[in-house]
């Protein structure tokens, strides 16, 4: 009986440049948030910067090569209010 190889998606987040300054100090605290099915992952938060460098890697298990969708959001971390 043939076996199916597990499917995986590998994501590398290198850097971003010229991000919008969301905070009152004209900077941001950016991070990327990812969701694929019920898997959620995020980069580290780079404080007070609009040209962050992460160099981080993530792996997601795929259910289907054709139908799974990876959602990606670039967010600004806020200590008091909800993240932008």
Most confident of 1-10, 17-26, 32-41: 32-41
Q: Find out whether 51 and 15 touch, Cβ atoms under 8 Å.
A: yes
Please state, for a pLDDT cut of 70, what percent of the chain lies above it: 95
Domain ranges of the chain: 7-63+70-76
The CATH number of 7-63+70-76 is 2.60.40.150
- Say how far apart CA 19 and CA 54 lie, in whole Å: 14
Integer distance in angstroms from the first to the last C-alpha of the chain? 50
Enter the tokens of residue 66: 């054709």
- Quickly tell me which residue has 């997601």 as its tokens: 60
- DSSP 8-state class, residue 6: P
For 39, the enclosing helix (H) or strand (E) is strand 39-42
């Amino acid at each position: 009986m043939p076996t199916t190889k597990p499917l995986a998606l590998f994501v590398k987040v290198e850097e971003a440049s010229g991000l919008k300054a969301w905070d009152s100090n004209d900077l941001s605290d950016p991070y990327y948030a990812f969701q694929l099915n019920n898997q959620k992952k995020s980069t580290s938060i780079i404080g007070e910067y609009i040209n962050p460098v992460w160099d981080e890697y993530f792996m997601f298990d795929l259910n289907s090569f054709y139908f799974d969708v990876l959602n990606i959001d670039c967010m600004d971390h806020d200590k008091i209010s909800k993240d932008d």
